[in-house]
Amino acid sequence: MNLIEAGVAAPDANIAIIVTRFNKFINVSLLDGALDVLKRIGQVKSENITVIWVPGAYELPLITRALVKSSKYDAIVVIGTVIRGHTMHFKYVASEASSGISSIAINSDIPVAFSILTTKNIEQSIERAGTKIGNKGAEAALTALEMINLLKMIKNH
Ligand code: INI
């Protein structure tokens, strides 16, 4: 039996994190969780982590695609928060962001880890940004690390 199962240390990896300014007060906690995992668990060097701020979740697919095309990174972590409002606007933003990013992700040779919260209210977002229900930014960073190593193992198998 051949078993392919990757670890999460990637000391030579170059990683980009895209993060939105919309709902920044939540996103800084997601970013903090992602950076903590990359540095402390992944052993990724600080100089090999690039953080890119964008206006809102709607802008994430375009920048994700630009970073994939640049061929400079081994993985991309995408961070944002869409909170339900009183109009339908949030729904379009959330669905365009997630479908745009997933279509880039499947056509990409590098992992694109998804940490866009889509919640009913601010409380649910706070719960997922380092409190009751963990930190979705940290989880996405961990996934990115594992996926980098998994792709490498598959290539060398
Ligand atoms: N952007 C977000 O990141 N989260 C939201 O909850 C949100 N809502 O609900 O409006 C949001 N809107 C802005 C959008 O992402 C674009 O930046 C804007 O439409 C300009 O293209």
User: What pTM value is reported for the model?
Assistant: 0.97
> What pLDDT is recorded for position 87?
83
Q: Is the CB of 53 under 6 A from ligand 1?
A: no
Map out the domains of the chain with their CATH numbers: 15-156 (3.40.50.960)
Start-end of H helices in 37-134: 60-70, 89-106, 122-127
Mean pLDDT across the chain = 97
* CA dihedral sign, ordered 61, 98, 37, 34: positive
Residues of the chain predicted below pLDDT 50: none
Distance 82 CA to ligand 1 centre (A): 7
CA of 90 to the centre of ligand 1 (A): 7
